[in-house]
Amino acid sequence: MVKTSTGLEDNIAALLCYVGWWVSGLIFFLIESENKFVRFHAVQSIVIFGIINIMLIIFGWIPILNLFMGFLVGGLAFVLWIVLMYKSYQGVIYKLPLAGDLAEKWANK
């Protein structure tokens, strides 16, 4: 495995991008300037979990939607969280639709 500017191996740093949802993604995006693999996962984490977080906040304000959509979005978020952490730990660039393309573009800047 390759070391990053943080001193971590790249697969560990990529996994940590997802641990704290978009917050840890933002932290790694700001501190990791060299490793494109980690930057990709950081941006994908920011985009995916940022959108999910906004959706959960909006559904929280609407009581009827919160019952069904909050549970559905929360369940989807949990599954995505586990899959993305697992894939990043394996060293795989697992691109989600739209967010993965955006992450790829931003990670290479």
Per-residue pLDDT tens digits for 7-48? 899 999 999 999 999 999 999 999 998 889 999 999 999 999
Domain annotation covers residue 18: yes
Domain annotation covers residue 104: no
Q: How many CB atoms are closer than 10 A to CB 44?
A: 28
Question: Which residue type sits at 57?
Answer: I
- Whole-number average pLDDT of the chain: 89
How much is the pTM? 0.87
Domain annotation covers residue 4: no
Domain that holds residue 33: 10-99
* Domains contained in the chain, number: 1
Domain annotation covers residue 72: yes
Rounded mean pLDDT, 91-102: 88
Rounded mean pLDDT, 75-99: 92
Span 56-82, pLDDT tens digits: 888 888 878 777 887 888 889 999 999
Rounded mean pLDDT, 89-94: 91
Cα gap 49→35, rounded to integer Å: 21
* Position 109 pLDDT exceeds 80: no
Domain annotation covers residue 3: no
Model pLDDT, residue 73: 85
Domain annotation covers residue 5: no
